[in-house]
Chains A and B, each alone.
Chain A
Amino acid sequence: MTSRAPISCTMNVASTLTASEAVCHLIMAMLDESGFSKEDIFAAHLALEEALINAIRHGNEMDPDKEVKVSYSVDSEKFEVWIEDEGTGFDPKSVPDPRCGDNLYKPNGRGLLLMCSYMDVVEHGERGNRVHMIRYRNKPSVVHGVPKTCR
């Protein structure tokens, strides 16, 4: 593992999918430089991608006047990220399980499940427009369908 000083950064991102892609690229490059494993980077990338798309599409409804605030930190133990949109928020408990019944055949609704499966902690703020996620280094990557902490 590369020994480095903790890194933290906050940025405001336009509500476009191109901007989301650029942010993911930047953060993944930073995780790579910080010595995270390929497995960690795959997991963090997938979760970040899903969270940003949720914020841009469902939170800010692609409104060009709205931004997504992204803060992240990386230290010797973990990658941590906070994503906040300007939308009205949602109740994560109201999201149906995409693995059950007819939901299995629906094209949407798998993003939150993937976030919870690939990150060690996924927490939503009270209003539901802010998500906080943590991925620890060198942990078993996935507990199938059983999020470690997801609320």
Chain B
Amino acid sequence: MAQIKPRVSVKYAENATIVSFVDEKILEETDIRALQETIMSVIESASGGMNMILDFGNVRFLSSAVLGLLIRISKRIYERDGRLKLCNINPKIYEVFKITRLTKTFDIYDDVDSAVDG
């Protein structure tokens, strides 16, 4: 598993690239910008459309700026004919997705295994 400093870990599985957020809180603008650069570089490094899974298992708090980041990531992946799935979302964070109706926009799975299979 590749550790990308300091906020995500990336695991290249057979059918998917699994990006796990390391931090409990994702808030600061600089953090979000760094996350965007890191994740976009993972997307760009793939030769074709990629199946990316974002694992929120460690995340306990996020702001609306993170939702914006997810939208930008999903657009980039879809432009490259890939697929984005979210998983392991804490109930309080899931509530934020429901309120903003982003549950309609994103494919959300209970855990990494079901996201890989889905």
- Residue numbers in A under 8 Å from B75 (CB-CB): 105
- Residue numbers in A under 8 Å from B4 (CB-CB): none
Contacts A42-B61, A50-B64 hold; do A17 and B29 have CB atoms under 8 A apart? yes
- Residue numbers in B under 8 Å from A107 (CB-CB): 67-69, 71-72
Segment touching A, from B15-23, B81-89, B97-105: B97-105
Closest CB of chain B to A135's CB: distance in Å?
15
Residue of B nearest to A115 (CB): B64
Contacts A46-B96, A98-B100, A105-B105 hold; do A53 and B68 have CB atoms under 8 A apart? no
Q: When chains A and B are docked, how far (Å) is the Cα of A18 from the Cα of B29?
A: 9
Contact B27 A49 (CB under 8 A): yes
- Residue numbers in A under 8 Å from B71 (CB-CB): 105-107
A114 at the A/B interface (Cβ < 8 Å)?
yes
Q: When chains A and B are docked, how far (Å) is the Cα of A49 from the Cα of B63?
A: 7
Secondary structure class of chain B's binding surface, majority of residues? helix
Q: How many residues of A contact B (CB 8 A)?
A: 26
| Of the residues A98, A104, A105, A114, contact of B96 by C-beta under 8 Å | A114
- Beta-carbon contacts of B58-94 to A below 8 Å, as 1s and 0s? 0001011101110110010000000000000000100
Contact A45 B61 (CB under 8 A): yes
Residue of B nearest to A98 (CB): B100
15 contacts between A and B (CB under 8 A): A17-B30, A18-B28, A21-B28, A46-B96, A49-B63, A50-B64, A53-B65, A104-B102, A106-B71, A107-B69, A107-B72, A108-B64, A110-B68, A111-B63, A114-B100
Q: A residues within 8 Å of B by Cβ? A: 17-18, 21, 39, 42, 45-46, 49-50, 53, 98-99, 104-108, 110-111, 113-114, 117, 141-142, 144-145
